Amino acid sequence: MDVRGRCLRVSVRRAAGPGSRVPLLLMNGIGASLELLQPFVDELPPELEVIRFDVPGIGGSPMPRLPYHMSTFAPLIGTLVRRLGYGEVDVMGFSWGGGLAQQFAAAQRKQCRRLVLAATGTGSLMVPARPNVLAKMLTPRRHRDPEYARTIAGEIYGGTMRTHPERASEVLHTYTRKGPKRGYYYQLLAGAGWSSLPGLPLIRQPTLIVAGDDDPIIPVVNARIMHRGIPNSRLHIYSGGHLALLTEAKELAPVIDRFLTE
């Protein structure tokens, strides 16, 4: 779809049968095409309509002519939602996408009914990962080299990746489409200098914060900070790491679906 001059690859899983549920808009992690979230989507009930998209330069969305930023990209997603015919959506952001989801909830509040933040933080103002973990996040190599992904999985993803690192390679490479390397760096740049921390009180939607107790990329203390800052939020801490939403989707999808249907 062409949205305000940017071409985005969009996927909509239509609801099965009649239903009146609010659609769920998913916002993905860094460097990953929309297919990465397929294990989670497969565990959601079929009557729930699910919307996904590739950010510019990732997966099937072509490279943008100019970089973009969280603050300007959220309104563009608002236009996408309207173009698809939805007045209101529930939003779930995973990892990098959690930052975009927070920006969307604050800036496009009339379009966002409920918010789910999974394995994410508040951007540049947050408790950071250890330097050795951050260094490995600065390049897209783990998305392009399955053996490298397996080698570093336990160190950067934690949880079950520590004992079964091959699962990271399966998750990152079974479904996803590779985009240009430059798309990854544009995505990094989109969050440069951005933080939701001062604006957490502006997020008024009912919010579920989902975090792992062994997440080297986003230490769990960041989830507690968001929980304290977002007025109408609740916190669900699971036993696991950064990719549990994908590798343990059978356990986490029902938790999120119950929140959405309350």
Query: Would you give the distance in Å from CA 86 to the centre of its chain?
Result: 20
DSSP string, 145-179: -HHHHHHHHHHHH-GGGGT-THHHHHHHHHSPPP-
> What gap in Å lies between CA 77 and CA 108, rounded to an integer?
9
Q: Do 103 and 247 form a contact (C-beta atoms < 8 A)?
A: no
> Is 20 annotated in the active site?
no
d(CA 28, CA 37): 7
- Closest listed residue to residue 48, CA positions, set 81, 12, 75: 12
Length of the chain: 262
List, in sequence order, every beta strand (DSSP E) within 70-111: 89-94
Burial of 193 from C-beta contacts in 10 A (0-12 / 13-18 / 19+): exposed
- Report the C-alpha gap between 179 and 53 in whole angstroms: 13
Catalytic one of 33, 61, 95, 196: 95
Put residue 119 in one of left, alpha, beta given phi > 0 → left and psi -120 to 50 → alpha: left
The alpha-carbon radius of gyration of the chain (Å, integer) is: 17
Helix (H, G, I), strand (E, B) or coil at 232: coil
Q: Which residues are catalytic?
A: 95
